Structure 1
Amino acid sequence: MRVLVTFAVDAEFAPWRRQHKFQKLNGGAVDVYSSQIGNAEVCVLLTGIGCRKAWVQATRVLWPGDVDICISSGFAGSLRPAHLPGDILAAREVRAQIPGVTLRCDEPLVELATDCGAKPVGAFLTNDHVVVEATQKRLLGIEADAVEMESASVLSEAAAFGARSVAIRAISDSVGEDLPINFNRITSKSGDVDIFRVFGEIMALKLTGGLSFIRFFRQTRQARENLAAFLSQYVERVAQISGVVQRKVAAR
């Protein structure tokens, strides 16, 4: 079984990368990694924030052939009080910012995610910018459970690989909190986090902002650890169940 997992940036992926000793491939401008988890051959691509990198082309070159499962993973901001930092959410559908564009996730994959401990939710909203203020998040909560910036693109491209797809995210910030810095100002054109801009934003923080940043850092650390533990269990379960199905089909 071949499983493609996408993250926006390495900070989301790092704990899982260390757990399974992912090997980096030569993907040029796109960071690509591979490993074996149980019966699954796993490829991870870092798409950049907002999927700004040519990750689809890199996948075709470095990982030719069919992809069975595609998982859009990483962080998301909560849009509803029920979803707290560290929670793992699995969406039944993803709504793009363009009105009327809705992508359905594979229902059996959502159900399996629920069995592995994720919270099933109605929808993620894929936005074209980071939602910084709590007031904005509350308004968006009318139409979705969480907001992120990649899943609509990932799920729409997954069909090109003939893959079943699902969006699974770890909550990094609650609906009631402003982000401590404006992440829209620290992102490069390629979707990477510019560390010098990050330092500039941090240096400009006052005491209350500094405390908020420390809290946010702790939340994201817990979120990515929870996500890594979940994905390890989930990918193994997906591979096991698919193997059973394939054997039953072959026996007919």
Structure 2
Amino acid sequence: MLPIPEPISRNARATIGLVAAFSWEVRPLLRRQNGMEHDGPFCSFSLRGETVWLAIAGMGAENSFRAARNLLERFAPRALVTLGFAGGLLESLNPGDVIVADRVLDQETRERFDCDADLWPLEGVQRGSLLSVTKVVASAAEKRRLAREWGAVAVDMESAGVARAAVEAGVPFCAIKSITDSAGQSIPIDFARCRSDHKRLSWLKMVGEGIRTPHGIRDLWMLARGARIAARSLAATLCSGESRGKR
């Protein structure tokens, strides 16, 4: 591991390192912040009484692992938190519901990582296992299959990478995710084909994917609406303890 550089200012060393896949997942959260500091790809602000540094990782566990390692090497946080979106596997979960994982399950390696679910005590959230997968779970049928096989309440693509980095560094971690799509909702696009680079998605490519299926544009609109609700709800939960944001 590389030596940890000196902090960029007196208050720069993080107490918590945050990792999100894409900037729009945390945009409503960042809009609530004042006096943010920036250091290259990282930004810092105060959240729930802690100094945090945020890294935007891009899609997938490999990118999230790399971003978490960079945070650990640069700022030596006492803990890591993965934030962002997840798809619902539990029938009762709706867009905007926030879950705090008690464990992360890696579909690829079948590893199980215990989370410090009380790292940030939050009101109005649901607990359960979060399944980390290697590609977007596109169909409601596949969601049902994964729910039966793994007993997880939600699915994402980044949490296993952050979990692995935290375990290697010997620091606690947790996963706080906001639901974008319910268990019965299918996703009409392959996000892997919609990337403009590893941290951004092309809306033009997403629309192109959407028109490939009969109800693709309608389903894409529903997903976009769910993402807006999820991002606002995540911000409200983290900043005020409320489980839902503005609609």
**Could you say which residue in structure 2 is the equivalent of 1:242?**
none
Give the alignment partner of residue 55 of structure 1, picking from 59, 67, 77: 67
Dislocated runs of 4+, deviation >6 Å? none
Distance 1:50 1:71 in 2: 15
Paired AA for residue 201 in structure 2: V
**SS of the counterpart of 2:195?**
coil
Q: TM-score, normalised by structure 1?
A: 0.80
How far apart, in 1, do the equivalents of 2:171 and 2:38 lie?
Answer: 23
Aligned residues: 223
Give the corresponding residue for 1:8. 21
Contact 2:188 2:216 in 1 (8 A): yes
Q: Tell whether 2:156 aligns with 1:145.
A: no
User: What value does the CA root-mean-square deviation take over the aligned residues?
Assistant: 2.2
1:9 Cα deviation after fit: 0.4
Aligned to 1:247: none
1:215 maps onto 2:222 in alignment: yes
Structure 1 residues 23 and 203 mapped into 2: Cα distance closer, same or farther (>3 Å)? farther
Matched AA of 2:54:
V
Q: Check 1:188–1:50 CA distance in 2 against 1; reply closer, same or farther (3 A cut).
A: farther
Q: Which amino acid aligns with 1:26?
A: G
Report what 2:106 is aligned to: 96
Structure 2's unaligned 5+ residue stretches are: 1-13, 242-247
Q: Would the aligned equivalents of 1:51 and 1:191 in 2 still touch at CA under 8 Å? A: no
Sequence identity of aligned pairs in percent?
27
Q: CA deviation at 1:203?
A: 5.0
Does the 8 Å CA contact 1:52/1:189 hold for their aligned counterparts? no
- CA gap of 1:173–1:69, structure 2 versus 1, over 3 A, is same
Q: Give the residue type in structure 2 aligned to 1:8.
A: A
Report the CA distance between 1:217 and its aligned residue.
1.4
Q: Please state whether the residue corresponding to 1:141 is helix, strand or coil.
A: helix
Deviation of 1:178 (Å): 0.7
Give the helix-richer structure, 1 or 2: 1
Q: How far 1:211 moved relative to its partner? A: 2.2
Q: 1:18 and 1:226 mapped to 2: Cα distance?
A: 13
Q: Supply the AA of the counterpart residue of 1:18.
A: R
Contact 1:8 1:150 in 2 (8 A): yes
